[in-house]
Amino acid sequence: MTSTLLARVFTTLLLLAGACFAPSAMAACTVTSSTGVAFGDYDPTSAAPLLSQGSITVDCTGNQTVTMTLTAGNGPYATRYMKSAANPASGFLYYNLYLDSARTIIFGDGTGGSSVADCRSGSASPNGLCGFANPSGSSRLAIQTIYGRINASQDVGVGDFTDTLTYTVTF
């Protein structure tokens, strides 16, 4: 008889007010939605990584340059990890969050091997990573998808694993 151990894992993104205005800027931006990266059940016997995604959407009046950053949470950017609720001192599940769908550009604050999301509301972003939309009227959106990955075959116990990160949006 084969039994499978599953660990429920979650990552939560919290908003930190960090908007900045240029002295001549007449436009304003607002974070209209953010979806955390919830991985669901992790199977440590699976040979495939567990993938998930979330997003941050910023609505601006007019086209604005928007920069989004993300804290490291537990651990440094290169080796983020979630802690086990049952065993927080030694129960770690390693994961990371990325700016690109290939999951090669680590989302962070520009330090420790991470990159920031530089977006342009209402138009293609300079680095091609942010999405955008031009709703009717003066509203312009900058949409950054956050791509998550938990690497396969990590030896973890059953339980809840969490990490809390904070994003900052500057325009």
Give the pLDDT confidence score for residue 158 in this predicted structure: 86
pLDDT-based confidence at 3, cuts 50/70/90?
very low
* Cβ atoms < 10 Å from Cβ of 114: 23
The CATH number of the domain where 30 resides is what? 2.60.40
User: Phi and psi (nearest 5°) for 139?
Assistant: -70, 140
Residue 41 domain-assigned (yes or no):
yes
Name the range with the highest mean pLDDT among 22-26, 49-53, 85-89. Answer: 49-53
Residue 2 domain-assigned (yes or no):
no
How far is residue 105 from each of residues 108, 113, 116, 127, measured CA to CA in Å?
9, 9, 9, 11
pLDDT digits (tens, 9 = 90+) for 55-87: 998 888 877 888 999 999 999 999 999 999 888
Give how many domains the chain has, as a whole number. 1
Using an 8 Å Cβ cutoff, are 45 and 58 in contact? no
pLDDT digits (tens, 9 = 90+) for 85-143: 888 888 899 999 999 999 999 999 999 999 999 888 877 655 556 776 666 566 788 88
Q: Which domain holds residue 74?
A: 26-164
